[in-house]
Amino acid sequence: MADKRLGRSLGKFFDERFLLSDLSAFAKKKTVPEHKHSFWYFFGGISLFLVGLQIATGLLLLLHYVPSIDGAHESIQVIMSQVKFGWLIRSVHSWSANILIGVLFVHMFSTYFLKAYRKPRELTWMSGFFLLILFMAFGFSGYLLPWNELSYFATRVGTDIAGSLPLIGGWLKELILGGPDVSQATLSRFFWFHVAVLPVVALAVIGVHIVLVQTLGMSKPIGIKETKDVPFFPDFIYKDALGWTLILVLIGVVCVFLPWEVGTKADPLAPTPLGIKPEWYFTFMFTTLKLIPAHVLSIEGEQLAILGFLAGGLFWLLVPFLDRRAAREKRSPAFTWVGVFVAAYIVVMTVITYAVKKL
């Protein structure tokens, strides 16, 4: 009896301070449209779950990781071989980071093809696109941290690409590297960026994205008339939790059978190994740069490709404002075909990277 009274008092205490009854009322009232394409909604929830895993495992890795060129690789070895469950924590961190990027791509393209970016969800789309860029930056900066041969040379290749940007290339490369080449300064910068700057920015953008999703609700695809609304809580949450559980099983299996490798310690004096390539989600850009002719109409090929990607990214970001038909709830096949082309291009270029030995 006294317990119940104490519980009620505590509940009231927090309710008055955090407005919990308002939140609870909102959660009870919130619904999600259900139709034949509802399956694609779950990728947003899975992304959020994977971000949570990233934060939890990343914080644990920070306990043992040493961000110096003399200690980084050794500390990863210690984590993988001596720290209790260190192998699991690091493998979950690395595998879930890669799965997260894949899920984000799926989430983005499903949103694009369902035209969920149309008014009033332009900012939801834009914040989502920024999140993809931010998580790719997470991937790029995190890849160098183990200071192994592959990550060292892939960073060198990646920053060389940034260096070939017109006008600002040289300055940008030096800013990223903290000097003329990949060194301790680079590792310190990447570590700072990976564990301090990006998390703060990403959490802020995730916050904006979630607030927008919650306040504006989920979009119904154009032309879908037969829909019904299901409560967000608990119906949708249960389905989300089912997806998270299955993803967790998948991560557990890959971590046990394919723990993330430590690799050979980076040797800056060694020659660049043959066939060095960046992480898979950058390979479509990397292969484009490799395949493009040295000069296209007297413009340097690499620069043209980079400018093309920048222009493409800008188009992708602004697509809610460009697709006027979708904004008027009309089908926009031209934008659908653009999306098909972009998705096919990314898949084909990625496959070429791994299938063609001598690029």
Q: Which residues bind another protein (CB under 8 A)?
A: 77, 80-81, 87-88, 230, 234-235, 238-239, 241-242, 245-246, 248-249, 252-253, 256-259, 262
Residue closer to another protein, measured from CB, 81 or 214:
81
For the CB of residue 195, give the shortest distance to another protein in the complex, in Å: 23
Residue closer to another protein, measured from CB, 44 or 278:
44
For the CB of residue 209, give the shortest distance to another protein in the complex, in Å: 25
Residue closer to another protein, measured from CB, 178 or 243:
243
For the CB of residue 144, give the shortest distance to another protein in the complex, in Å: 20
Q: How many CB atoms lie within 10 A of CB 262?
A: 17
Residue closer to another protein, measured from CB, 236 or 281:
236
- 166 cis-preceded (ω within 30 degrees of 0): no
For the CB of residue 243, give the shortest distance to another protein in the complex, in Å: 9
Helix axes 122-144, 184-192, angle to 10 degrees: 150
Token look-up 């001598």 returns: 358
Residue closer to another protein, measured from CB, 28 or 331:
28
Residue closer to another protein, measured from CB, 79 or 132:
79
Residue closer to another protein, measured from CB, 133 or 256:
256
Continuous H helices in the chain: 2-18, 20-29, 42-62, 72-81, 86-113, 122-144, 149-163, 169-177, 184-192, 198-216, 237-257, 283-291, 301-322, 324-327, 333-355
344 exposure class (CB count in 10 Å sphere: 0-12, 13-18, 19+): exposed
For the CB of residue 297, give the shortest distance to another protein in the complex, in Å: 35
Residue 270 and residue 155: Cα distance in Å, rounded?
15
For the CB of residue 14, give the shortest distance to another protein in the complex, in Å: 27
Give the torsion sign (CA, 32, 37, 43, 46).
Answer: positive
What Å distances lie between residue 72 and 66, 78, 143, 148, 173, CA to CA?
5, 10, 12, 9, 23
Token look-up 């394919």 returns: 258
Residue 237 and residue 216: Cα distance in Å, rounded?
18
Phi, psi (deg, nearest 5) at residue 32: -125, 135
For the CB of residue 76, give the shortest distance to another protein in the complex, in Å: 9
Residues 6+ apart with CB under 8 A from 178: 185, 186, 188, 189
* Identity of residue 205: V
What Å distances lie between residue 344 and 21, 43, 135, 244, CA to CA?
47, 20, 22, 28
* Identity of residue 354: Y
For the CB of residue 87, give the shortest distance to another protein in the complex, in Å: 6
For the CB of residue 104, give the shortest distance to another protein in the complex, in Å: 23
Residue closer to another protein, measured from CB, 203 or 258:
258
Residue 45 and residue 351: Cα distance in Å, rounded?
28
Residue closer to another protein, measured from CB, 256 or 291:
256
